[in-house]
Amino acid sequence: MVAEPDVIAASDVLTDLGFTPVGELGIPQRWAFKEPARLAGTNTYVIVAGSLSLRNHLAVRDTLRADSALRAEYGAIKKQVGAHAANIDEYGHGKNGMVQKILAAAGLSAEERARIDASQVPSHDELPR
């Protein structure tokens, strides 16, 4: 997490460490990096401090940690969707309504939730490997 003016410097450090930049991938102000072989299985990003993308991530995490009823509902939705989803993209879309409910409970405005919902995240088939 960096201030907006530091995105390029942070990205350069990761690139120097062997990470490959793959872009925002539909999530504004969050740049993804493919990990080097020695760190296989990790997810690494540079994200702008205070951005809606970061607030989205933290709102889901913090709300689920704090609200056991929502956490249980989210877990049930994940199991239900996971049992029927044909792939990871369908799984993600199947959870969307619940994620919107969590974001509302976290206090994100209707406009912010609409912006998050409108993000054009590419399918996993479209992602660089």
Distance between alpha carbon 71 and the CA centroid of its chain, in Å?
A: 18
Q: What is the DSSP letter of 27?
A: S
> Per-residue DSSP letters for 11-25?
HHHHHHTT-EEEE-T
Per-residue pLDDT of the chain (129 residues; tens, 9 = 90+): 999 999 999 999 999 999 999 998 888 999 999 999 999 988 899 999 999 999 999 999 999 999 999 999 999 999 999 999 988 888 888 999 999 999 999 999 999 999 998 876 666 566 555
CA atoms in the 13 A half-sphere facing the CB of 20:
10
- Contact between 54 and 30 under an 8 Å Cβ cutoff? The reply is yes
**Which burial class, exposed, middle or buried, applies to 121 when counting CB atoms under 10 A from its CB (0-12, 13-18, 19+)?**
middle
pLDDT of residue 33: 95
Indicate the pTM of the whole model: 0.80
pLDDT of residue 119: 79
CA distance 99 to 22: 25
Q: b/e for 50-77, b at 16 or more Cβ within 10 A? A: ebbbbbbeebbeebbeeeeebeeebeeb
pLDDT of residue 57: 92
pLDDT of residue 26: 83
Of 53, 58, 61, the residue nearest 27 (C-alpha): 53
